[in-house]
Amino acid sequence: MRVNKTFTLKSTSHFKQQLLQWSQEFNEVVWLDSNLHTQAYSEYDAILAVDGFTVLKTDAQNAFEDLKTYQSTTKDWLFGYLSYDLKNDTELLTSNNFDGLNFPDLYFFQPKKLWLLKDNILEAHYLAMVDDEIDEDFNTINTLQLFEEVSSNTLKIKLRTSKDDYFKKLNNILEHIHRGDIYEANFCQEFYTSGHITPLATYKRLNAISKPPFASFVRLFNNYALCASPERYLKKLKTTVVSQPIKGTSKRSKDKNKDNALKKALENDPKERSENIMIVDLVRNDLSKTASKGSVTVQELCKVYTFEQVHQLISTVTSQVSDSLSPIDVLQSTFPMGSMTGAPKVSAMKIIEEYEDTKRGLYSGAIGYITPNGDFDFNVVIRSILYNAEKAYISYSVGGAITANSIPEKEYEECLIKAKAMREALLNNA
């Protein structure tokens, strides 16, 4: 049982920073921030969940069944992540590539303390065992003096896959496409380094560079995810399910006229549009597995959304589901998200495993929450820095959709554009 209390804030942006700084006292933290993007389907501007009361941490085997049991038993707020390698639970697949991070495949916790922020209204939802701490915590947070940690640049970032190997592997994938094995594959590569970083300072830098609508800071003891994701994976609100896959990317220009021209070119680029439409078809198929008959609808197709560093094509696909359906069934039947796999999905995932050099883990998985009544909202873990503090291992991966029309040099250039923000955040906050 939770005790709720509401506060009205004078300065939302300042309080958000105080709230995030206060969260560093805890070993289990999930912070979600919309960065004030106007998202038609978003419920909150920011959410902070800390201090696990109960926890589910597991590998891929029977993970969704375990999560379904956990969710149906607690019937409470749950926060955490689904790693990409839960594909091995949904399909007969394996993950044997190098893993420098060693995160659990799935991790969710039931927070003792939960803060929900919308406009200037702040709600505290505390478990009854700590409800007498609400006012004290609010006063502590509200009077925190913000500080910025000074850090030095000592990291040397390396590529797991050399440029020459990237082109060889990409050409092999193109051969699969030309043979008709697949239509599209999301091919990714890892950047990595050894060392220690200050996670919160690095996250703040990354978030300031990108200002994405699905940012998140996750700490689960020694494992950190610093996420500047522009993409929603899946949201469920009552009986409506929403997927918003991103496929199609263009760089931006500081010159307004050139930037508008780049935006227009992306909107009309046949190759970029075909990438997106293939994934929309895949998403429609995934949603149809749990949807009420005839309810899968494409609300937006290949709409250009502009972010700090890139323009992107985003489509919005919705469906209706029975209110008696477990939310975990909806997640399981659509996971991993089509924008990070390719089409057909299972064939693409097999080929991805063959040619990528790194186990994806949390990268291209999902971070988010499930509510007590079975609603949920999850992002796609891209544009993210993953950090195992105990192993002093730092990783970020980027990728792109490979289709029959892909030009290897342009795909490589797109990877570097996507990697720029993580590199800058690390080299300024190492």
Residues with catalytic function: 231, 247
221: left (phi over 0), alpha (psi -120 to 50) or beta: left
Instruction: State which amino acid sits at residue 247.
Output: K
Instruction: State which amino acid sits at residue 413.
Output: E
CB-CB neighbours of 55 under 10 Å: 15
Rg of the chain over CA atoms, in angstroms?
21
Instruction: State which amino acid sits at residue 176.
Output: H
Question: Which two structure tokens, joined as six digits, stand for 422?
Answer: 């993580």
Euclidean distance between CA atoms 107 and 59, whole angstroms: 9
Euclidean distance between CA atoms 247 and 315, whole angstroms: 8
Phi/psi at 201 (5° precision)? -60, -40
Instruction: State which amino acid sits at residue 69.
Output: T
In this structure, are strands 232-237 and 376-379 parallel, antiparallel, or unpaired?
antiparallel
